[in-house]
């Protein structure tokens, strides 16, 4: 791109670059601080720093409620990831392949849920699920999380399908493959990176969701709900320790997704280089 030729004023360029750095500093300050203070001894964190300490990690590790929360989060996250990805794949394929009356409504249902404020979703879910005796259990959180996670899976997989040569599927049919065989041998292999990408991203979204989970989980609290509890009660740097730990898990998932989505996308990505 030849944008260099357009603007030449160095002072403006450098102050804009400095502004980028400032913006990123604002966004990453709380993330970095949480990591630093998770390893710091002070009960009421500030600067100058106290000494290096693992006590908050130890406090967290010896709290059975935290382990229970982590267990719930992991189980729920994996199940949510799998269901959301399956539903999202189906919806993405439907959008890719079919035109039908009411498709706009279908797509709205498939994509809109994340734009509804979580607090309203939480209330609606709590009221509805307790009506059908499904509230206060792990399955309540799973049901609610799939609603907001499936759209992400659908968007990711749809993006991959849009890179597929539209002639590929009809070519397989012409060669005698059934629709099911084409799905299995052409479509699924082609979208595989996106399928796993969607799986990891939806798991990560579920790991961090606290508001809806807070409303519907009852006693089966997930880890983020536990953190909310810490914030409400005995605020302590344990939050930082949990936050850092969850951050590492989430980032591992996101980076795995990123590698899958960009690493082996084949000719389409390479063409752009």
Partner 1 sequence: MRRAISLYGLTFSLPLLVWQLLFFVFPLAFLVALSFWTVKNFTMRPDFDPVNWVTMFGKPVFWQAYGTTVALAASASALASVLAFPCSYAITFKLSDSARRWAIFLMVIPFFTSYLVRVYSWQIFLSDAGIVNVILGWFGLGPYSMLNTPGATMVGYMTLSLPLVILLQLFSLVFIDRTLIEAAHNMRCGRLRTVFEVVIPSARVGLVIAALFCFILTFGDFVSPVYLGGGDPTTLSILITDTTKSGQQWPRAAVIALTMIGTLLAVAFLAVRFAYAGQAKGARK
Q: How far is the CB of 68 from partner 1 (least distance, A)?
A: 18
Q: How far is the CB of 266 from partner 1 (least distance, A)?
A: 18
35 versus 163: smaller Cβ distance to partner 1: 35
19 versus 67: smaller Cβ distance to partner 1: 19
129 closest CA partner among 219, 217, 202, 69 = 217
CB under 8 Å to 118, separation ≥6 — which residues?
A: 148, 209, 211, 212
70 versus 118: smaller Cβ distance to partner 1: 118
Q: How far is the CB of 52 from partner 1 (least distance, A)?
A: 17
Distance between CA atoms of 6 and 9, rounded to whole angstroms? 10
Q: How far is the CB of 137 from partner 1 (least distance, A)?
A: 14
126 versus 194: smaller Cβ distance to partner 1: 126
Torsion (CA) 215, 217, 218, 224 in degrees, nearest 10? -80
33 versus 75: smaller Cβ distance to partner 1: 33
Q: How far is the CB of 267 from partner 1 (least distance, A)?
A: 19
Distance between CA atoms of 3 and 269, rounded to whole angstroms? 23
Q: How far is the CB of 55 from partner 1 (least distance, A)?
A: 17
Distance between CA atoms of 191 and 156, rounded to whole angstroms? 10
Torsion (CA) 89, 95, 101, 105 in degrees, nearest 10? 70
> 40, 237 in Cβ contact below 8 A?
yes
131: number of Cβ within 10 Å: 9
5 versus 52: smaller Cβ distance to partner 1: 5
């Amino acid at each position: 791109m030849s944008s260099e030729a357009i603007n030449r004023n160095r002072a403006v360029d450098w102050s804009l670059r400095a502004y980028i750095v400032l913006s990123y500093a604002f966004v990453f300050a709380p993330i970095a601080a949480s990591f630093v203070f998770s390893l710091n001894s002070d009960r009421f964190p500030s600067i100058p720093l106290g000494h290096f300490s693992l006590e908050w990690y130890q406090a967290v590790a010896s709290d059975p409620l935290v382990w229970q929360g982590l267990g719930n989060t992991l189980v729920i996250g994996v199940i949510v990831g799998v269901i959301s990805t399956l539903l999202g794949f189906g919806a993405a394929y439907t959008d890719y392949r079919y035109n039908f009356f009411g498709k706009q409504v279908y797509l709205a249902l498939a994509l809109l849920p994340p734009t509804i404020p979580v607090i309203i979703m939480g209330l609606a879910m709590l009221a509805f699920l307790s009506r059908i005796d499904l509230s206060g259990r792990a399955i309540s959180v799973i049901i609610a999380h799939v609603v907001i996670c499936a759209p992400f899976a659908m968007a990711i997989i749809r993006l991959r399908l849009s890179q597929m040569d539209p002639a590929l599927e009809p070519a397989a049919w012409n060669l005698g493959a059934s629709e099911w065989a084409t799905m299995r041998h052409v479509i699924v292999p082609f979208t595989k990176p996106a399928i796993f990408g969607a799986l990891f991203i939806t798991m990560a979204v579920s790991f961090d969701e606290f508001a809806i989970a807070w409303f519907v989980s009852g006693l089966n609290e997930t880890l983020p709900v536990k953190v909310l509890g810490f914030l409400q009660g005995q605020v302590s740097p344990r939050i930082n320790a949990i936050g850092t730990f969850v951050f590492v898990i989430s980032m591992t998932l996101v980076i795995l997704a990123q590698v899958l989505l960009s690493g082996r996308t084949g000719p389409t990505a390479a063409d752009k280089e």
